Amino acid sequence: MTDVIEIACGDARARIALRGAELKSWRVGDDDLLWPGDPASWPDSSPLLFPAVGWTRDGIRVDGRRYPLGLHGFARAADFDVVVVAADRARLALRASAESFSLFPFKFCLTIDYGISANGLEIIAEVQNEDERPAPYAFGLHPGFRWPLPGASGRHEIVFDANEVAEVPVIAPGGLFSAETRAVPLQGRRLALAPDLFSEALCFLDARSRALEFRADGKVLRMEVENLPHFALWTLPGAKFLCLEAWTGHGDPVGFEGDLFQKPSMRVLAPGEKTRHAATFCWRAG
């Protein structure tokens, strides 16, 4: 078994690593859409965030005990099992282990389905609580796309499907969420992109939109989400990528010292309960 699997539909191709069930490339014809990763800037391409999203304040606390769960959880560094591989789809799964228990004391199953079409890619995540008690979690998608988009050289913008509040939380040192906000230059549903916007991530919590588009020169990369209420846009100074992120949760608030069950925006599953989160990406080359 290779450490990367490939799915295809016509001249569309996607490659998925077993480590982290991470999407490593997505091509539609000659258009190479996904950031390939670069150790000199951001080495990832599309990590999965579970069972936490964002930074934690010195780990997590459950029933009075501290666990050293760090940035975005552990799924992105774990080896997933292959459940199904077909020509145009794949399913991978991750279950609790002795290693995960040292970071997150709950039994779970995280299943990731990838499906590819002629100009689209779907990612479906199912989270199941396999424990005998309620279990909290957060899940997120963190794909990075090439900026500029393939074949585009003009002004790039994000267009939301609904009018969003033109301010985002200020991210405090340590990646924590402060109660302060800062303005972003939204014009209706449109946000013109410029590198100086990204001194920190732009996090649209409880967004009104269920879709957004990354556009330039008639080319459109559309992301539609299901059961992922928060959007984030992120890049690094001078980098050639833009992350279009969708989350159920977010980083710890400044000063948060509570139990993981008390952390804002966490989901809690009853024993045996399962829920689904999904995103569909569609490329229109103009």
Is the full-model pTM beyond 0.95? yes
What are the residues whose beta carbons fall under 8 Å from the beta carbon of 39, sequence distance 6 or more? none
Q: Element (H or E) spanning 71, and its range? A: none
- Render pLDDT for 21-51 as a digit per residue (tens, 0 to 9): 999 999 999 999 999 999 999 999 999 999 9
* Dihedral, CA of residue 79, residue 44, residue 231 and residue 62, to nearest 10: 40
Q: Which residue shows structure tokens 């016509």?
A: 10
Task: Reply yes or no on whether the pLDDT at 127 is more than 90.
Answer: yes
* Dihedral, CA of residue 110, residue 121, residue 155 and residue 202, to nearest 10: -10
Nearest CA-CA partner of 225 in 266, 177, 282? 282
**pLDDT for 57:** 87
CA dist list (Å): 238 to 65, 197, 245: 41, 12, 19
**Number of residues that make up the chain:** 286
Which residue stretches of 16-125 are H helix? 98-101
